[in-house]
Amino acid sequence: GAGVSQSPSNKVTEKGKDVELRCDPISGHTALYWYRQSLGQGLEFLIYFQGNSAPDKSGLPSDRFSAERTGGSVSTLTIQRTQQEDSAVYLCASSLARLGQYFGPGTRLTVL
């Protein structure tokens, strides 16, 4: 079966531009997570969706970051006015009620 997919796989952008990252979770998975992974920093939690609602946005690093999920499926993470410190790999994961989260391959974002 299909796993979690993310697009684009790589994104290079200029400082100050907006970017949109997409996540397609495993079909039927109600929970969806976004993480950021920087070199040597481990996984940084950004936001969690249960269905279309986001009960926990506590990890979003600034108001330049936002995310939405529609139809209980696809999610988009938007970063406005990108900064160089936003450069990282952005990972999406999905799960059912069980704790095991299934990760996508990530989007590698480079802000020049």
Partner 1 sequence: QKEVEQDPGPLSVPEGAIVSLNCTYSNSAFQYFMWYRQYSRKGPELLMYTYSSGNKEDGRFTAQVDKSSKYISLFIRDSQPSDSATYLCAMSAFWGAGANNLFFGTGTRLTVIP
Q: Give me the sign of the Cα torsion angle 60, 66, 84, 5.
A: positive
* Selected range binding partner 1 among 11-19, 60-68, 73-81, 101-109, rule: CB under 8 A: 101-109
* One-character DSSP codes across 91-109: EEEEESSSS--EE---EEE
Stretch that binds partner 1, among 13-21, 69-77, 80-88, 96-104 (CB under 8 A): 96-104
Q: How far is the CB of 16 from partner 1 (least distance, A)?
A: 27
Centre a 10 Å sphere on the Cβ of residue 53 and count the other Cβ atoms it contains: 10
Our finding on whether 71 is near partner 1 (CB under 8 A) is no
User: If binding is defined by CB under 8 A, does position 103 make contact with partner 1?
Assistant: yes
Q: Scan for tokens 């079909």, then name that residue.
A: 27
Find the binding residues for partner 1 in span 25-54 (CB under 8 A).
30-31, 40-43, 45, 48, 50
